[in-house]
Structure 1
């Protein structure tokens, strides 16, 4: 069986990322695992606002909560001023009327009610009652969002910055490293690797993308407390066989990685996606070892050194 036929046996069907394009495209996955795809016609933000808020990064989410609270109280304070602050009993005459109405709104919204200021008249009392109701609903929603964010399983698996092609056991091999940044131990960790290579038809200029399953020396471990170097031996069967680094980059090679593991903290399976492409391919180097035993026999792991490389001698 020839080399070409051997390679074809590792060729994979379209995993759902497309195979034919009218022009060259960028990498499919970004380094953080997000899809590099612009979607048109999806559900609008207002219809999927919960998902947006749950996935929003921490500082933006905090800004949203604080901003919503301030805006809501500005709205109700404006209503109280429009009705007339004379209907708010207990306002200090030396205090700005709008500021006093704002503080009264904040107390009503949070149902604190210090009692220094009280609504007078049916209309003002009705507005205060409605604000208290809105406040209860708002805090219930905020609590649900915060719970959803904290209870959502996530991984903190770090990847080496580069994927390298380096000598290994008298052959060449593709390697990258991963490590769990949390103190918890991931169990039953499985790694799936897919290689994407691009070829352009010189006649039609259609760009065809092919996918290959990349077998690893070890793709499953029961325990994952240390750094794990994933190795794919580049033998005659490999789609990377006899390809130089420049050829790899010319074919817009992209390594698509999915990691599945059981997280003992969440007691459920977690998934992490990652991609290597473009400048992240390297050769002529090897990974430095980033763990060792100290004088007491304890293994010391330096997570910050996961991407450290050294030039081959």
Structure 2
């Protein structure tokens, strides 16, 4: 009899595990849309559960979603503990009529460690539930404090990138140009920029690859980035984009990625920003509208209202 019971238990557990793996396999087989810049990619055969990467989801969620999720967890925790108080035999003193709403208020006071004092546990059962809730409250509050601090303390650069890269003549040579600006107008020292091009190629064996190339810049460092900065890449024979027009860029499915990093002297942290462009966004035969000028009293004037505008060469 004992052996048969063990066999039945083993069969039930094996069936549960098989169902779990089946659900994971079905979830992995569902296509998922991944956004890389402005490009949408469909991925299949890979599944990452919600709770397996919860810290990353908390860090990348928008502020409304993050605050809404925290409020929902707070409400659920208090509602559950209020039920445990409610089903007990008067575990908390000074609860008129044993109403559930009063236990909910007491749960909020306990979970948040406020403890006003008018209601308090008066039985061993009430003290036990309150102790568990206090531990949950301390743990959850510490976790929430850490997440909020991490979200606020993340270094980020408020860099504004032009909507369109342009290709025009510069110093008598065809040049790819890309303009960016520091929205905060603080000093980003030792700013470094790197520009990459991605294009589709076909090997001799006929296999398709997505290959990236770093595009050399005329000047890829700035000692102090505070206003605007235009990057220049000469389209000479050494350039991966040499000889490509708009149709050539489309045929090779060319995209650009620019990465800018530097030291924020106010935040005392290294900051980084990136921007990606697809080939339809590159404008041939255009240059950026002039945004620098001088006022009547001789001071430098920067018109960011024309920052994204381009004009025919």
Q: Could you state the TM-score of these two structures normalised by the residue count of structure 1?
A: 0.79
Q: Pick from 140, 156, 159: which aligns with 1:157?
A: 159
Q: For 1:292-311, list aligned pairs within 5 A.
A: 292-303=293-304, 305-311=306-312
SS at match of 1:87: coil
Residue 258 in structure 1 maps to residue 263 in structure 2? no
CA deviations over 1:162-199 (Å, ceiling 9, x no partner): 11112222222111111122232111111111222223
Preserved contact between residue 91 and residue 125 of structure 2 (Cα < 8 Å): no
Q: Distance in 1 between matches of 2:218 and 2:171?
A: 12
Whether the 8 Å CA contact 2:259–2:272 is kept in 1: the answer is yes
Instruction: Tell me the secondary structure at the aligned position of residue 77 of structure 2.
Output: helix
Look up the match of 1:207. Answer: 208
- C-alpha deviation, 1:42, in angstroms: 7.8
1:58 aligns with 2:63: yes
Give me the whole-angstrom Cα distance separating, in 2, the residues matched to 1:39 and 1:184.
44
Aligned match for 1:119, one of 102, 118, 121:
121
Q: Is the 8 A contact 2:217 2:232 kept in 1?
A: yes
Shift of 1:266: 2.9
Q: Is the 2:34–2:42 Cα contact (8 Å) retained in structure 1?
A: no
Q: How far apart, in 1, do the equivalents of 2:93 and 2:151 lie?
A: 41
Alignment partner, residue 69 of structure 1: 74
Is the 8 Å Cα contact of residues 254 and 278 (structure 2) preserved in structure 1? Answer: yes
5+ unaligned residues in a row in structure 1: which ranges?
Answer: 1-25
Using the alignment, how far apart are the partners of 2:68 and 2:149 within structure 1? 17
The equivalent of 2:18 in structure 1 is none
Distance (Å, rounded) in 1 between the aligned partners of 2:278 and 2:46: 28
Does the 8 Å CA contact 1:29/1:256 hold for their aligned counterparts?
no
CA distance in 2, matches of 1:254, 1:236: 19
Match of 1:30 among 14, 37, 40: 37
- Deviation for aligned residue 1:41: 5.7
**Paired residues, what number?**
281
Cα RMSD (Å): 2.9
Q: Secondary structure at the match of 1:89?
A: coil
Partners of 1:180 and 1:36 in 2: how far apart?
31
> Is 1:107 aligned with 2:80?
no
Q: Which has the higher contact order (CA 8 A, sep 6+)?
A: 1
1:242: how far off?
A: 2.5
Q: CA deviation at 1:279?
A: 2.1
Say if 1:305 and 1:119 are closer, same or farther in 2 by CA, change over 3 A: farther
1:227 pairs with 2:228: yes
Q: Which segments of 5 or more consecutive residues in structure 2 lack a partner in the other structure?
A: 1-32
Q: TM-score, normalised by structure 2?
A: 0.79
Contact 1:185 1:225 in 2 (8 A): yes
